[in-house]
Amino acid sequence: MTPALAQQAFASDDDEALPGPFGTFERTRDFLHPSIDLNDKTVLVTGGTGSFGKHFVKSVIARFKPKRLIIFSRDELKQYEMAQVFPLETYPFMRYFIGDVRSRDRLEMAMRNVDYVIHAAALKQVPIAEYNPFECIATNVIGAENVVQAAIRCNVKRVIALSTDKAANPVNLYGASKLAADKIFVAANNLAGADGCRFGVVRYGNVVGSRGSVMPFFQKLIAEHADALPITDARMTRFWITLTQGVNLVLSSMELMQGGEIFVPKIPSMSTTELARSLLNGRQAGRALAMLEAVVPTFADLAPDPAFVALQAQFARAYFLRNQDHRALEIIEPVLDAAERGELTAILADALVTKGTALTNVGRVREGMGVIEIGERLARANGLTWTVLRGLNNRLVTFSEVDPKAARDACLDGLALARRIGDRQWMFQFLAGSGLGAYAIGEWDEAVGLWQTSLAEDPEPADRLIPYFSLAVVAAARGEPIPGAADEIARIAAGVSDPQVSWVTVDGPASIASAQGRLAEAVAFWRAGVPDFPSAAHSWLWSSARLSIRLGDAAGARADLAALDERGLHTPHVEAERLAILAGLAAIDGRAAEAIHLYGDAFRALRELGLVFVEAQVAIEMATVLDPGIPEVATAVDSAREVLTRLGARAFLDQLEAATQRQSPPPVPERERSRDTSAV
């Protein structure tokens, strides 16, 4: 191979990012170029009814017009099923040959007038090969010899054999048999002579999601509530490639080959820990936790090996992402100790972010924010950009309760950093967060622009939920028609199990109902969602309490306030909301002077935080439970009217005017209630 061709074949992916959600490798090399031209050529695929063969056929049909495409395999049922997908009536170039690579005669018959052969047939299951060694050798080694002999006798131009990473320094029979096969194909170039058939090998790792691969196997065991997953060693690394990449690599290698090469692509690798992290980053915390609960106890004796410490760190993170913060804190302490003693900086920084976030969730807000910031600083000092972004994001969730304006600005900084390194997942996270921050401080046009930018980037469902829901809520507040919003939010959320995102399925319908004046319905939504989404509970409890006060339900508001106090979260925003609730309760009890005083304190606190829309909502509550003619009430109403007019929040402006006139807001027409958003 010439140096130029070698450079193309083994191009580096060092500048590319590892996958986010498991199984997506959008930014790794696709191996599309160069590619051999299969137009008007005859191609045979041994083992053609397997995962690779089916995807190969699909790709070839989409890109070329072959003279014949021959599927050679021994399973008649699979051939029948494949012929239903690629019928001869639609694809007249397809041929289906029943045969076994153990039969040289059948191979020679199938290879007549064939230009190219892809040898994918093999016994691939490690335990089965160990238990049936003669069969493994007969298919993988003798079968390889038969393919070589048949290809030479039939004057095939080129043959590419599929190998495996297990052929490198093999420790089991399957790997050893594939190593022997690789050597047969490399040596076959000597047998063919200078002008004869050219033989090459493509060697790659685990094909994501293919039949018999580890991920479907793990998923099946998890679904069956298995007590453990059969992982040989927590430190073991697996290399991953998609079926599309595998097919492209074969076509590219067939074009590049001169004979005798073993093509080894540079592809992502993962240990068990990294697999868990990938599931967590892909918002599949439930699946990650199920896997880790089965794996971690198995390798407890490895502690304090760095591989086990890293695994434990992801275990704690999985519990935190499933809103089990106390359990996360239990697990993370020994991780921090081991990481500090072992100078495992990357694990230490990430674990500090996990601990700090869990602390804020259990009410230890300032302590938690300080711990997150320490982890973030450690990550910055050591160039751990991903952990920097995670720390910034997690700290901002609570920071927004302390200083919303500063939180919004910091979120925009995180967005700029995510864009600079090209991380789409964090980009969507910070776009959503920046929008929510702008919304909170009354910069609605800025918020709408950020959310629209996010949706224009075609995000995955998990990243689409928050901007879509947020645009629907703004549209409802502005009194705009929003057909089917609740249904669309539910549809997008159908495949998302991460509670860090799926809270939208509760808050969306509740917020829309609140904007449309259906207060009791909104209260019911929020209260029902509290047990399932603890991280959002404080916001929903104060929202429910405020609307309960407007409905005259003092008992319900008191219950919400008690539940809020039980959570022990004491941030400036929480305290401001608490003052407003106490004011409303005082007003309902007939203690007007006390209520006016408490409302004044609440308005000052909210004004300091810059939460102008919340201030306007509290003014609506105040005008509902106190005489609108009271000077303090009139002043609050005028201020709220100015804010709501600037925001264009017509629906809430109508509620404000109705409160000042001591009448209920006009009911939402039935046709409007049944059309809740897609035109946002």
Taking only the tens place, the pLDDT of each residue in 71-129 is 999 999 999 999 999 999 999 999 999 999 999 999 999 999 999 999 999 998 888 99
The 3-state DSSP composition of the chain as helix, strand, coil percent (nearest 5) reads: 65, 5, 30
Bond from prior residue into 304 cis (ω within 30 degrees of 0): yes
CB neighbours of 638 closer than 8 A, spacing ≥ 6? Answer: none
Q: Which of 44, 46, 39 is nearest to 62 (CA)?
A: 39
Question: Distance between CA 369 and CA 357 in Å, rounded?
Answer: 7
Q: Phi and psi of 211, rounded to 5°?
A: -60, 120
- The Cα–Cα gap between 149 and 156 comes to 10
Domain 270-402 has CATH 1.25.40.10: yes
Q: What does the alpha-carbon distance between residue 42 and residue 597 come to, in Å, rounded to a whole number? A: 87
Tokens representing 254 are 């067939």
Say if CB 33 and CB 63 are below 8 A apart. no
Contact predicate 545/564, CB 8 Å: yes
pLDDT bin (cut points 50, 70, 90) of residue 207 is: confident
The catalytic position among 41, 54, 124, 166 is 166
| Helix (H) / strand (E) containing 43 | strand 42-46
Order of all β-strands in the sheet with 206-207: 206-207, 237-241, 269-271
- Range of 210-214, 356-360, 569-573 with top mean pLDDT: 356-360
pLDDT of 254 strictly over 50? yes
Measured from the Cβ of residue 286, the count of other Cβ atoms closer than 10 Å reads 16
Lowest pLDDT segment from 14-18, 121-125, 195-199, 215-219? 14-18
Query: Which residues have a Cβ under 8 Å from the Cβ of 362 and sit 6 or more positions away?
Result: 325, 326, 329, 568
With CA atoms as reference, report the closest residue to 270 among 589, 617, 23. 23
d(CA 520, CA 535): 23
Pairing mode of beta strands 237-241, 269-271: antiparallel
The answer to whether residue 166 is catalytic is yes
* Distances, alpha carbon 225 to alpha carbons 21, 107, 281, 289, in Å: 23, 45, 23, 12
Please tell me the pTM assigned to this model: 0.58
Distance CA 620, CA 607 (A): 16
**78-92, 230-244, 335-349, 511-525: range with lowest mean pLDDT:** 230-244
Terminal-residue alpha carbon distance, the chain: 56
Looking at CATH, the fold of the domain delimited by 3-267 is given as: Rossmann fold (3.40.50)
**CA nearest to 308, candidates 281, 272, 275, 355:** 272
Distance CA 52, CA 202 (A): 13
What is the C-alpha separation between 437 and 410, in angstroms, rounded? 10
Separation CA 348–CA 379 (nearest Å): 9
Question: pLDDT tens digit string along 3-48?
Answer: 232 223 222 222 233 333 333 333 345 677 788 999 999 999 999 9
**Residue scoring higher pLDDT (244 or 180):** 180
Rounded to an integer, the average pLDDT of 313-320 is: 81
Distances in Å between the Cα of 523 and the Cα atoms of 546, 548, 667 are 9, 7, 17
Pairing mode, strands 198-204 and 206-207: unpaired
How much is the pLDDT for 363? 74
Q: Which two tokens stand for residue 276?
A: 């868990």
